[in-house]
Amino acid sequence: MPNGVHHIPLELPWSTPGNVNVYLLEENDGYVMIDCGVDGSEYLKLLEMHLNQLGITFNDIKLLVGTHMHIDHIGLSQRLREFDIPFALYKNSIDYLDEYNDWSIRFKDLIRMAKNEYTPVSFIDDLKSISTPLYAGRLEKPDILLSEGRVKSIKRNLNVVFTPGHDYSEISLYDEKTKIVFSGDHILPRITPFIPVQNENSNLLKEFLDSLDKVDHLDHEIIAPGHGNIISNPHKRIEQMKLHHQRRSERILGFLKNEDLTGWEISNKLFPRDLDSLNLRLAFQETLAHLHLLKSQRRVEKNNKNGVNKWTLIN
């Protein structure tokens, strides 16, 4: 990391991924912190310990910026605000506070979509049983709502780039001085981030791919991701991620060559391994995200018969 930028791989309560990256940017009068980990008094202590090892205390943090509204990145934000640290998120985050705090609201639309894709009752029951994780903390309205462009409350030239896809309110932060892009989970070194579906009309995979192009066009040298190691060949990594999704879309088109299928059937063909309920949900959402992209590209269409969607290839 260049001078004046510190990196803390903060521990998470689970093993994949086992850490979230907290970054600290040095200013004349303190530090800007990017992301903060999950909620919990023990995680507050852990973060404090890591900071102290760098000679930093909570009083030195002048601003906390969250890259996106996932609990491993901003769960601890409310506790940090009790130290008078102002907390900033992208401006559309206020539309999603209720979903963050109450996961029965978060998955309401998905349950409806799942029924239309003829998923098993057990899958719907699993979705209905999801409750807000303990590590989420409670999210109140942020102190600062960010727009694209320069972060106003600090001297440093840190630029907000809106990069939705993995989350609808995700941002990347471009630091002009060091030419680092802090990418949150939008760009990761080894895995491609999971892409969800919001509702029938959402197309987060398209937004994700557009966001990749947006970051690709920045004059950056390295990417500092939300998990894992620094990415020193950003353009190549972006290319790989685009290719990954292109291949996945091609496979779906292949499945539909000979027969019309429901979203659930496509998901099972795309991810044929035995999955636990979490990964089954992620696989299903990712499949729908692809179908929504293909539909917007007029390569597939959705026909609803007796309440069940069948996806058909457009020739």
The residues, ordered by sequence, that sit 6+ positions from 156 with a Cβ below 8 Å of its Cβ are 25, 27, 32, 175, 177
Closest approach of Cβ 303 to Zn ion, in Å? 36
Cα-to-chain-centroid distance, residue 60? 28
Q: Furthest-apart CA pair in the chain: how many Å?
A: 65
Closest approach of Cβ 20 to Zn ion, in Å? 6
Closest to Zn ion by CB, 72 vs 207, is 72
Site string for Zn ion, 207-226 (x = CB under 5 A): -------------------x
Task: Report whether 241 contacts 187 (CB < 8 A).
Answer: yes
Closest approach of Cβ 141 to Zn ion, in Å? 22
Residue type, 157: N
The residues, ordered by sequence, that sit 6+ positions from 256 with a Cβ below 8 Å of its Cβ are 266, 300, 311, 312, 313
Q: Give the angle 91-232-193 at the CA atoms, nearest 5°.
A: 50
Record the tokens describing residue 161, joined without a space: 């780039």
Question: Total binding residues for Zn ion by CB under 5 A?
Answer: 3
Closest approach of Cβ 81 to Zn ion, in Å? 20
Closest to Zn ion by CB, 204 vs 256, is 204
Closest to Zn ion by CB, 118 vs 135, is 135
Is 265 a binding residue for Zn ion by CB under 5 A? The answer is: no
Phi, psi dihedral angles at 306 (to 5 degrees): 50, 40
Residues 182-201 interacting with Zn ion (rule: CB under 5 A): 185
Closest to Zn ion by CB, 166 vs 245, is 166
Closest approach of Cβ 8 to Zn ion, in Å? 15
Q: How far is it, in rounded angstroms, from Cα 133 to Cα 131?
A: 6
Closest to Zn ion by CB, 3 vs 16, is 16
Q: How far is it, in rounded angstroms, from Cα 201 to Cα 193?
A: 21
Closest to Zn ion by CB, 226 vs 234, is 226
Site string for Zn ion, 66-95 (x = CB under 5 A): ------x-----------------------
Closest to Zn ion by CB, 72 vs 126, is 72
Task: Report whether 97 contacts 106 (CB < 8 A).
Answer: no
Closest approach of Cβ 39 to Zn ion, in Å? 14
Closest approach of Cβ 189 to Zn ion, in Å? 13
> Does the CA dihedral 64-67-69-74 come out positive or negative?
negative
Site string for Zn ion, 28-67 (x = CB under 5 A): ----------------------------------------
Closest approach of Cβ 83 to Zn ion, in Å? 23
Task: Report whether 255 contacts 269 (CB < 8 A).
Answer: yes
Closest to Zn ion by CB, 164 vs 226, is 226
Q: Is 11 exposed, middle or buried (0-12, 13-18, 19+ CB in 10 A)?
A: middle
The residues, ordered by sequence, that sit 6+ positions from 10 with a Cβ below 8 Å of its Cβ are 19, 20, 21, 22, 36, 37, 43, 46, 47, 50
Closest to Zn ion by CB, 166 vs 310, is 166
Closest approach of Cβ 226 to Zn ion, in Å? 5
List interacting residues with Zn ion (CB under 5 A): 72, 185, 226
